[in-house]
């Protein structure tokens, strides 16, 4: 295959270059000066289009196996492909069983490998149950982050817990790209870590050479605030006040201190508070934000209600532009969707406290960043490529294969019509989740084709044409 006549974003470049891209055996074989002579090859005429590296969404909850009434790996992957995403990294906590040991990992892989349309990586998980003598089997599908838990499972001796924890993390490290943890969790099957447990996890992960990802909200603050604000009402404002900016900031302050003491590799996920970004500036701890934190604030939450409910919640209006600036100046490393959809009825239970927390996002992440980031002048074209692909590839050790348009790398590409546009309609999503806060927004730029390892998996005319099972597991360094 050869893609002819497009303008491509090459690594390290501030502007597009007119090139032809030759693809062989799923890899980029050659990047040639435009107009090169290639005969007897499948040709894609890409004149008038831009080519970006295939997007990487490093934070998705595809809920498979276990919670497939909300989402499954096939539908999540199709949504990703339609949004120019060629690689996702799936979270360990919203599966049954959660990916906390090698046996659970194998069970998950047996299910999702048959459904994957895009390439995928996985995180391992460490939760309070990892420190107990027996595993926890959830009795029912618990909605994500409804309320903070009242108590963690019984803690056993540090010596015996540490041995089992270290063994499980070592076995997972052969496959996973990092370890996910929580300072507060509403999932019965994946409880929060206290600060001492978190320290042990960081020490083990440091020796394994893998990052630890943290959902950073302060447990004590939210426990107390939730009791108060549940009494005051059941609207978006009350939910926000139960976990405002200070709840994120307190958690990150603690995490930074522990990470600095252990010398571990820490990453803070879904940052919605600009102050948190400032805390990361002068150390090697990294962080991500998401399109919903860049676009929406508390006023939008009060207007939309649970359609915009996510955890952490969107914050005060002073955060949005500061988060954009932190993305632009490299304070924040990249964006991630935190894709976590549900059925429509899950968003309309009658109370903000029981409405499902999470939104679909992997199909809109890259288009949003192209339209509202690059096209609006908030980030440069080069930075667009970094925050939607290169940054995550570097962070999670897969840059040798993914994240840029270079000879020898996987031919993961997204072709965009910069003069096109489209309107977000949730009913048209490939995801099982159709309820989106971006409903009705017009995005400038339209994805024309998504190509994974040299194979077209999505076109604007035909929709998703990739096959279940084509997506491959991406391992650290593999």
Residue-wise pLDDT for 395-452, tens only, equals: 999 999 999 999 999 999 999 999 999 999 999 999 999 999 999 999 999 999 999 9
| pLDDT reported for residue 184 | 97
Residue identified by tokens 């939104």 is: 359
User: Which residue shows structure tokens 């990470």?
Assistant: 259
Strands (E) in 228-318, as ranges, are 266-268, 286-289
How wide is the angle at C-alpha 205 spanned by C-alphas 147 and 310, nearest 5°?
A: 25
Average confidence score pLDDT of the chain: 92
Whose tokens are 């099982």? That residue is: 432
Looking at the predicted structure, is the pLDDT value of residue 160 above 60? no
Residue 73 belongs to some domain of the structure:
yes
Angle, in degrees to the nearest 10, between helices 245-262 and 219-232? 170
pTM: 0.93
Can you tell me the distance from the alpha carbon of 309 to that of 145, in angstroms, rounded to the nearest whole number?
A: 10
- CB distance 187 to 94 below 8 Å: yes
132 contact partners, CB below 8 Å, separation of at least 6: 153, 154, 155, 156, 161
Which of helix, strand or coil describes residue 208? Answer: helix
Are residues 268 and 287 in contact, defined by beta-carbon separation less than 8 angstroms?
A: yes
Spatial neighbors of 13 by CB under 8 A, at least 6 apart, are 382
Distant-in-sequence contacts of 68-72, Cβ < 8 A, 24+ apart: 69/141, 69/343, 69/432, 70/141, 70/340, 70/341, 70/342, 70/343, 70/346, 70/356, 70/432, 70/433, 71/339, 71/340, 71/341, 71/342, 71/360, 71/431, 71/432, 71/433, 72/115, 72/432
- Rounded Cα distance between 293 and 266, Å, is 21
18 CB neighbour count, 10 Å cutoff: 12
DSSP state of 184: S
Q: In Å, what is the CA distance from 45 to each residue of 28, 57, 415?
A: 17, 27, 11
Asked, for residue 294, whether it belongs to a domain, the answer is: yes
The CA-atom distances, in angstroms, between 217 and each of 165, 259, 361, 435 are 23, 16, 21, 25
Percent of the chain's residues with pLDDT above 90: 87
pLDDT score for 478: 72
Q: Tens digits of per-residue pLDDT, 343-379?
A: 999 999 999 999 999 999 999 999 999 999 999 999 9
130-152 average pLDDT score: 46
| 11-15, 100-104, 383-387, 450-454: least confidently modelled range | 11-15
Q: pLDDT band at 261, cuts 50/70/90?
A: very high
- Which one, of 126, 173, 175, lies nearest residue 152 by Cα? 126
Q: How far is the C-alpha of 415 from the C-alpha of 371, rounded, in Å?
A: 14
pLDDT of residue 152 exceeding 80: no
Region 50-78 average pLDDT? 98
Tell me which DSSP letter residue 430 carries.
S
What region does 350 belong to: left with phi over 0, alpha with psi -120 to 50, or beta?
left
Instruction: Report the number of distinct structural domains present in the chain.
Output: 1
Strand pairing class (17-24; 43-45): unpaired
In a domain, 34, yes or no: no
SS3 340: coil
3-state helix, strand, coil in the chain (%, to 5): 35, 20, 45
- Measure the CA dihedral 221/227/231/233, to 10°: 50
**Residue 419 covered by a domain:** no
And the tokens for 206?
């440091």
Task: Tell me the average pLDDT across 58-64.
Answer: 98
List, in order, residues 6 or more apart from 350 with CB less than 8 Å away: 234
pLDDT at residue 196 in the model: 96
Does some domain include residue 43?
no
Secondary structure (3-state) at 375: coil
Query: Is the residue at 103 inside a domain?
Result: yes
In whole angstroms, what is the distance from residue 338 CA to residue 189 CA?
A: 19
Has residue 459 been placed in a domain?
A: no
pLDDT category at 210 given cuts 50, 70, 90 is very high
Q: Which two tokens stand for residue 392?
A: 């995550």
Specify if 86 maps to a domain: yes
CATH number at residue 196: 3.20.20.140
| Whole-number Å distance between alpha carbons of 415 and 77 | 18
> Where in the sequence is the domain holding 196, given as residue range(s)?
56-399+426-441
Indicate if the pLDDT at residue 242 is higher than 60: yes
Choose among 124, 131, 247: nearest CA to 181: 124
């Amino acid at each position: 295959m050869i893609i002819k006549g497009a303008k491509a974003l090459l690594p390290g470049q501030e502007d597009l270059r007119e090139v032809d891209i030759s693809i062989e055996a799923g890899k980029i074989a050659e990047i040639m000066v435009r107009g090169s002579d290639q005969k007897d090859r499948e040709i894609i005429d890409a004149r008038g289009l831009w080519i970006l590296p295939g997007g990487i969404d490093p934070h998705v909850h595809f809920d498979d196996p276990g919670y497939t009434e909300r989402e499954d790996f096939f539908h999540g992957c199709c949504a990703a492909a339609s949004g120019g995403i060629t690689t996702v990294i799936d979270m360990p906590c919203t599966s049954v069983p959660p990916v906390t040991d090698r046996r659970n990992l194998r069970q998950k892989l047996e299910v999702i490998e048959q459904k994957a349309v895009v390439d995928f990586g996985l995180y391992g998980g460490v939760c309070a149950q990892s420190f107990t003598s027996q595993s926890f089997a959830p009795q029912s599908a618990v909605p994500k982050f409804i309320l903070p838990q009242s108590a963690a499972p019984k803690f056993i001796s540090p010596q015996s817990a540490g041995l089992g924890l270290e063994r499980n993390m070592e076995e997972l490290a052969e496959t996973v790209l990092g370890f996910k943890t929580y300072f507060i969790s509403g999932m019965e099957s994946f409880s929060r870590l206290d600060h001492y447990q978190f320290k042990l996890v960081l020490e083990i992960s440091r020796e394994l050479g893998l990052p630890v990802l943290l959902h950073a909200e302060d447990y004590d603050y939210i426990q107390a605030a939730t009791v108060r604000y549940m009494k005051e009402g059941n609207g978006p404002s009350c939910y926000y006040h139960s976990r405002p900016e200070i709840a994120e900031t307190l958690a990150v302050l603690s995490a930074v201190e522990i990470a600095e003491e252990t010398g571990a590799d820490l990453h803070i996920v879904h940052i919605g508070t600009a102050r948190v970004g400032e805390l990361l500036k002068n150390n090697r701890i990294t962080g991500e934000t998401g399109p919903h934190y860049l676009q929406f604030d508390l006023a939008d939450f009060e207007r939309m209600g649970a359609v915009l409910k996510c955890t952490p919640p969107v914050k005060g209006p002073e955060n949005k532009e500061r988060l954009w600036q932190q993305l632009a100046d490299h304070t924040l490393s990249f964006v991630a969707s935190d894709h976590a959809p549900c059925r429509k009825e899950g968003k309309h239970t009658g109370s903000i406290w029981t409405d499902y927390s999470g939104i679909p996002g992997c199909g809109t992440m890259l288009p949003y960043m192209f339209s509202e980031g690059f096209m609006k002048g908030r980030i440069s074209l080069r930075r667009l490529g970094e925050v939607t692909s290169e940054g995550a590839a570097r962070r999670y050790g897969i840059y040798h294969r993914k994240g840029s348009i270079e000879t020898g790398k996987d031919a993961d590409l997204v072709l965009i019509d910069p003069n096109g546009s489209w309107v977000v309609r949730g009913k048209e999503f490939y995801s099982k989740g159709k309820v989106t806060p971006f409903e009705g927004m017009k995005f400038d730029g339209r994805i024309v084709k998504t190509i994974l390892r040299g194979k077209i998996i999505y076109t604007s005319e035909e929709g998703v044409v990739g096959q279940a099972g084509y997506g491959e597991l991406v391992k650290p360094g593999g």
